[in-house]
């Protein structure tokens, strides 16, 4: 099997684990605070109207950074796999 594909698979797994940990952290955080605090926070977010162009630019930057981080991590894992143990 191609080591580059294995490295990309490992990187995708690491990204999945990191996002799962992030989601579980937020669920535990809001579970501790309670439903009323969560609904109050969501109401304040809904009341704010972000500027569409600003949101578009920030989303594009975050997408590019995420792809760059994925590629850098995949490259690093591939380099680590090629080194003898």
Name the residue ranges covered by the structural domains of the chain.
Answer: 3-82
What is the full DSSP assignment across 23-56? HHHHHHHHHHH-HHHHHHHHHHHHH----HHHHH
The pLDDT score that the predictor gives to residue 41 is 92
The pLDDT score that the predictor gives to residue 85 is 45
The pLDDT score that the predictor gives to residue 81 is 85
Tens digit of each residue's pLDDT (9 = 90 or more) over 73-85: 999 998 888 865 4
Residues 6+ apart with CB under 8 A from 12: 70
Predicted model pTM: 0.68
- Which pLDDT band holds residue 13 (cuts at 50, 70, 90)? very high
Tokens matching residue 23: 């989601």
Helix (H, G, I), strand (E, B) or coil at 83: coil
The pLDDT score that the predictor gives to residue 50 is 78
The pLDDT score that the predictor gives to residue 83 is 63
């Amino acid at each position: 099997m191609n080591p580059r594909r294995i490295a990309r698979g490992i990187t995708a797994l690491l990204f999945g684990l990191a996002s799962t940990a992030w989601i579980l952290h937020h669920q535990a955080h809001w579970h501790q605070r309670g439903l009323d605090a969560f609904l109050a926070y969501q109401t304040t977010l809904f009341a704010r109207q972000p500027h569409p162009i600003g949101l578009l630019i920030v989303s594009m930057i975050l997408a590019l950074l995420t792809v760059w981080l994925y590629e850098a991590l995949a490259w690093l894992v591939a380099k680590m796999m090629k080194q003898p143990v």
